[in-house]
C-alpha cells in the first residue's frame, strides 16, 4: 500500500501555550515521540485570534486546539489524542483491558467535560469579577470526585501503572488549579500522581513555560 503524501507531512498543532486542551495534545505527541509544528493562536491578543474568520476555517468552534494530521483537521483534544493513539499505537495511551479502558475514558471525560470547561478563559471572561471564586468552586467540586475515583483506580498513575490519556488530562488541570490557588493538599492522590508525572520528560517539554509562544516573563 502506498503511503500518501499527507501522511508523510509533520502534524500541525494550532494551540495556545497556556491552553490546557492544547497541552494535552502536546503531551500525547511527546509521549509518542512525534515531531510536529506549532501555529500559535493567541486567545487574548487582538481580542482573541481564535475569533478571526481565518481561524474559523480551521476550527468552526473557534477554540484551540486544532490539529492537521494525515490530510485531515481535527478539533477537540480527546478526539485528537484518540486518533493519534489509534494511528500510532506505541506506546498505547488507552489500555487494552476493557475495564481499565472505561476508567481512563471516565477520568478523561470528568476532567475534559466536567471541570475544565467551567474555568476556561471564555467562561471566566463572562463571569467577570467573581472569576477566582467561580474557578475555585468548580475545580474543588470536580477534584473531590476525582480524588475519590483515583483512590480506586490508581497505581503509579491514574489507572494502574501505565501512563494513559487520563494522566494527559490530569496534569494540565492541576496546573490550572495551582493558577487559581486551589489547595491541593486536600487531594493527596491527585497531588502525588501529578508530581510523579511531572518528573517525566514528555510532561516537561510540553509545559506551558517552554512553548514557542510563551511570553518571556513566563518562561522557565
Q: Is the pLDDT of residue 142 over 70?
A: yes
Q: Is the pLDDT of residue 3 over 70?
A: no
Nearest to 58 by CA among 6, 112, 117, 13: 13
- Compare 8 and 55 and report the one with higher pLDDT: 55
Q: What is the mean pLDDT of residues 70-92?
A: 97
* CATH-assigned architecture of domain 12-91: 3-Layer(aba) Sandwich (3.40)
- Compare 116 and 2 and report the one with higher pLDDT: 116
Percent of the chain with pLDDT over 90: 88
Give, rounded to a whole angstrom, the gap between the first and last alpha carbons of the chain: 45
Note whether 12-91 and 98-204 share their fold: no
Q: What is the mean pLDDT of residues 42-54?
A: 92
- Compare 126 and 87 and report the one with higher pLDDT: 87
Q: Is the pLDDT of residue 195 over 90?
A: yes
Q: What is the mean pLDDT of residues 24-30?
A: 98
Nearest to 169 by CA among 90, 42, 82, 45: 82
Looking at 1-10, 31-40, 163-172, which range is the least confident one? 1-10
Where in the chain are the domains?
12-91, 98-204
Q: What is the mean pLDDT of residues 188-200?
A: 98
1 falls in which pLDDT band (50, 70, 90)?
Answer: very low
Is domain 98-204 classified as CATH 3.30.360.10?
no
pLDDT attached to residue 133: 94
Nearest to 178 by CA among 150, 210, 207, 145: 207
pLDDT attached to residue 78: 98
pLDDT attached to residue 31: 98
Q: Is the pLDDT of residue 2 over 50?
A: no
pLDDT attached to residue 42: 94
Q: What is the mean pLDDT of residues 201-219?
A: 96
Cell (9 digits) for 152:
480506586
Return all residues near 208 (Cβ < 8 A) that are at least 6 apart.
17, 18, 23, 175, 214, 218
pLDDT, tens digit, for every residue of 50-69? 999 999 999 999 999 999 99
Amino acid at each position: 500500500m502506498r503511503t500518501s503524501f499527507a501522511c508523510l507531512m509533520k502534524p500541525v498543532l494550532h494551540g495556545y501555550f497556556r491552553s490546557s486542551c492544547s497541552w494535552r495534545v502536546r503531551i500525547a505527541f511527546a509521549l509518542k515521540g512525534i515531531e510536529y509544528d506549532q501555529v500559535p493562536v493567541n486567545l487574548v491578543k487582538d481580542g482573541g485570534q481564535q475569533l478571526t474568520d481565518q481561524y474559523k476555517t480551521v476550527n468552526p468552534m473557534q477554540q484551540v486546539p486544532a490539529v492537521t494530521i494525515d490530510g485531515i483537521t481535527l478539533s477537540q483534544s480527546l478526539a485528537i489524542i484518540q486518533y493519534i493513539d489509534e494511528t500510532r499505537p506505541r506506546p498505547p495511551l488507552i489500555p487494552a483491558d476493557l475495564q481499565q479502558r472505561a476508567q481512563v475514558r471516565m477520568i478523561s471525560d470528568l476532567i475534559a467535560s466536567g471541570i475544565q470547561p467551567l474555568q476556561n478563559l471564555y467562561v471566566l471572561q463572562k463571569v467577570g469579577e467573581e472569576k477566582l471564586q467561580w474557578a475555585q468552586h468548580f475545580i474543588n467540586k470536580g477534584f473531590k470526585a476525582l480524588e475519590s475515583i483515583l483512590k480506586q483506580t490508581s497505581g503509579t498513575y491514574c489507572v494502574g501503572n501505565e501512563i494513559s490519556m487520563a494522566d494527559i488530562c490530569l496534569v494540565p488541570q492541576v496546573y490550572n488549579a495551582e493558577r487559581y490557588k486551589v489547595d491541593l493538599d486536600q487531594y493527596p492522590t491527585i497531588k502525588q500522581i501529578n508530581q510523579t508525572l511531572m518528573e517525566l520528560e514528555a510532561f516537561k517539554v510540553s509545559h506551558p513555560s517552554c512553548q514557542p509562544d510563551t511570553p518571556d516573563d513566563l518562561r522557565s
